[in-house]
Chains A and B, each alone.
Chain A
């Protein structure tokens, strides 16, 4: 017992002060991308051809990057001869709308807080049932980190629960494999109304790296109504936390 208490003192207080203080992120962290289309040469498609997930496209209005498809690999940055693409260290990537994930310049995605009535119903807690629907377990690893003492989602009442019956919504990861589709829909069905859907990671938003695969459904689009999109491959825990806090109107 004494040793356990001593260890407690030694291990110290480790909870990050987010959102009152900015998070400490590594120098090489790849966050919100910014484009400078004025630098693009006429007819250049180097970045589009280099992108492994088809996140970039050239429209009549110019270059577009879809963070819902992006895996933040920076292949485009290496390919671009003009330095038109940069990945900033901004961790705030979540959006309430799918089209809010399209980047054409230096715009920031927006999260609309839930309505007053829904927030009243939720009180001070948000309980989510996580559904891993295909994918690589990367998003699950980072979603799990919300439960550790550093990110400590329970400070804000955010917790993952064992049953959809106990949940206010589901957090979906993975491209929704054909083999998981039914289980995902049944889990959603089992959550009581009103319920939220959060799509975390490129796979859940768009199919990500597995987009177009016969074995998967290109994410939750068209299957479930999404309230929050959290881009990343995988999203950093602070990106997920930030998105959830904005959804709850806490930031």
Chain B
């Protein structure tokens, strides 16, 4: 097997990436996955002569390494999906972006409906046949303050046989706009790849840049970045717990958690001016250092929020009617979760032991990191409990970090980027593994930029978890995943 090996935020000369013939590429990628590797990404890259390169990254989570290899394809190639289901969405994306046909892909369909292709909604939706089967179509505009997406439920009575999810309504050209950078827009485009994951995506972008410049931030800047990411995790997780409570009509916990989410967002705002963490993480470090008073206030605010969160969440666990709705709903077994290549809290709730903070720690989590816990059952209850455990671990970690935030400048200058290199940057955002990939040209600018939001991998898992469920449980299942439309659509 011929692979080039790299680590998180470590540039690899493009010339060092093996280019194989397509049969060998397919065989070796599948063999690496059979041997315990995980498909980190599979993507097309435009070649110099108009051809398309396919690049595969196989993660070795135990060693913190990514094996990379590539091939050149013309119009078609034998699809990997039949032997590696985790490739299904990546191959759809390749077909849509490059017009290359993955032969034998069981189910090709548009991913984002970009300009120049079919009109959105104009697709052959998978449908179940039978005289007693009916379809329920929902969206793109949903009943709530929610992003747009289209869902089709193939039902037999109340039971969902299959859920077809069709996205792309939020597609706004983020990756395309990042090409040719870094420039004055780049960090903002990264921050808004998914606005509720501002810290996660900004950290992935900045870490990528620093990798390409062979610079590391000061320990203090790294500690503050980790604080930004963990605060984001706590805020979103507690918000999700409130939304789950709201979906089963348990309003006290819903309103407490909603308020607490805001309280944690306000802690972020005290440190950087923005509730969503805009303008905090910047190339070379962080834009705002933390003063002794702020440290004290943050510590106090966090302890108070933790006490109130525990109080609110205890109501959830002790309500038998709520547990009856959460338990055994939307079960996703670990085998399916692993095959689909799931990431983040929903994967861990199904017992998949996967977390970038431990597996690919880089500077951010190299010296200290939150404890990582795993669930078992993979149901709505497990996904809810997983969020609470992650909140507990993140609070404990933050208190440890705030006790000793390290030293060094908040931000330092970044030199020119390495030319002709490829780099992968991984961050465990609150939804799971965020991957940013960039390739630089001869002048050190981005000739290609690719973002894999955790939602890109997890949307199908939601559809899978809905199989056999009563349709009324969809809102609950959906909230228990709480995936990003904009992060998927880019």
The A-contacting residues of B in range 73-119, CB under 8 angstroms, are: 112-115
Which of A57-65, A111-119, A125-133, A241-249 has 4 or more CB atoms under 8 Å from chain B?
A: A125-133
Inter-chain CA distance A234–B195, complex, in Å, is: 9
With A52-B188, A138-B192 known as contacts, the answer to whether A162 contacts B144 (CB < 8 A) is yes
At the interface, yes or no: A236 with Cβ under 8 Å from chain B?
A: yes
Query: CB distance B192 to A75 under 8 Å?
Result: no
Say yes or no: A179-B168 contact (C-beta < 8 A), given A137-B484, A141-B196, A150-B262.
Answer: yes
Instruction: Say whether B276 contacts A138, CB under 8 Å.
Output: yes
Does residue B266 face the partner (Cβ distance < 8 Å to A)? yes
Residue A158, interface by CB 8 Å:
no
**Distance of B253 from chain A, by nearest CB (Å):** 8
Q: Please judge, given known A-B contacts A26-B273, A28-B288, A148-B262, whether A138 and B252 are in contact too, CB under 8 Å.
A: no
For B140, list chain A residues within 8 Å (CB).
Answer: 180, 183
User: What's the nearest-Cβ distance from chain B to residue A135, in Å?
Assistant: 7
Q: Mark B127-167, 1 if CB is under 8 A from A, else 0.
A: 00000000000001101111110000000000000000000
User: Using an 8 Å CB-CB cutoff, how does the interface string of A15-47 with B read, 1 for contact, 0 for none?
Assistant: 000000000011111100000000000000000
Instruction: Point out the residues of chain B lying under 8 angstroms from A8, CB to CB.
Output: 252
Asked if B315 and A136 sit within 8 Å, CB to CB, the answer is no
B172 contacts A148, C-beta separation under 8 Å: no
Q: Using A10-B308, A27-B270 as known contacts, say yes or no to A134 and B258 having CB atoms under 8 A apart.
A: no
Contacts of B308 in A (CB 8 A): 10-11
A28 to B274, CA, bound (A): 8
Taken residue by residue from 405 to 443, chain B's Cβ proximity to chain A (1 for < 8 Å, 0 otherwise) reads as: 000000000000000000000000000000000000000
Q: Is B462 an interface residue (CB 8 A)?
A: no
Instruction: Let me know if B401 is at the binding interface, CB within 8 A.
Output: no
Per the bound structure, the CA–CA distance linking A129 and B315 in Å amounts to 32
Assuming the contacts A8-B252, A174-B170, A180-B140, asked whether A132 and B188 have C-beta atoms less than 8 A apart, the reply is no
Chain B 258-286: CB-based contact to A (< 8 A → 1; otherwise 0): 11011000100111111110110000000
Chain B interface residue number, banded: 35 or more
Q: Contact at B192–A175, with CB atoms within 8 Å?
A: no
The answer to whether A29 and B273 have CB atoms under 8 Å apart is yes
A209 touches B185 (CB 8 A): yes
- Tell whether, in the assembled complex, residue B196 and residue A160 are in contact, meaning their CB atoms are under 8 Å apart: no
Q: Which of B188, B314, B485 contacts A209 (CB 8 A)?
A: B188
Interface flag for B463 (CB, 8 Å)? no
Given contacts A3-B315, A14-B259, contact A163 B143 (CB under 8 A): yes
Contact B273 A179 (CB under 8 A): no
In contact, A149 and B255 (Cβ under 8 angstroms): yes
Q: Which of A203-247 contact B (CB under 8 A)?
A: 209-210, 213-216, 233-234, 236
Chain B: minimal CB distance from A32 (Å): 14
**Contact indicator B195/A137 (Cβ below 8 Å):** yes
Q: Of B113, B143, B185, B314, which contacts A162 at CB under 8 A?
A: B143
B460 contacts the other chain (CB 8 A): no
CB within 8 Å of A: which B280-296 residues:
288
Closest chain-B Cβ to A89's Cβ sits at a distance in Å of 9
The answer on a CB contact under 8 Å between A138 and B196 is: yes
Interface of B is mostly: loop
Complex contact B173–A215 (CB within 8 A): yes
- In the bound assembly, the distance between CA atoms of A138 and B393 in angstroms comes to 26
Please name all residues of chain A whose beta carbon is closer than 8 Å to the beta carbon of B171 when the two chains form the complex: 134, 177, 179, 215
Contacts A141-B195, A177-B170 hold; do A136 and B486 have CB atoms under 8 A apart? yes
Partner of A179, one of B113, B141, B252: B113
Whether B62 is near chain A, meaning CB under 8 Å from some CB there, is no
Chain B residues near A213: list those with CB within 8 A: 172-173, 176-177
Closest B residue, CB atoms, query A15:
B259
User: Does A140 touch B at the CB level, under 8 Å?
Assistant: yes
- Enumerate chain A residues within 8 angstroms of B194, measured Cβ to Cβ: 136-137
> Given A28-B273, A179-B120, A4–B279 Cβ distance below 8 Å?
no
> Judging by beta carbons under 8 Å apart, are A10 and B148 in contact?
no
**A75 and B252 within 8 A (CB):** no
B169 touches A180 (CB 8 A): yes
Q: Check if A187 is an interface residue, CB within 8 A of chain B.
A: yes
A144 within 8 A of partner (CB): yes
Instruction: Kindly state the separation between the CA atoms of A160 and B311 in the bound complex, as whole angstroms.
Output: 28
CB of B252 within 8 A of CB of A187, answer: no
* A-B contact sample (9 more), CB < 8 A, given A131-B141, A138-B278: A25-B269, A26-B273, A52-B188, A137-B194, A137-B196, A142-B275, A175-B172, A209-B189, A210-B172
16 contacts across the A-B interface (CB closer than 8 A)? A11-B308, A72-B279, A74-B279, A132-B145, A134-B170, A135-B170, A137-B196, A141-B196, A163-B143, A177-B169, A179-B168, A179-B170, A180-B170, A209-B192, A210-B177, A233-B192
A→B interface (CB under 8 Å): 3-4, 7-8, 10-11, 14, 25-30, 49-53, 71-75, 129-145, 147-150, 160, 162-163, 174-175, 177-180, 183, 187, 209-210, 213-216, 233-234, 236
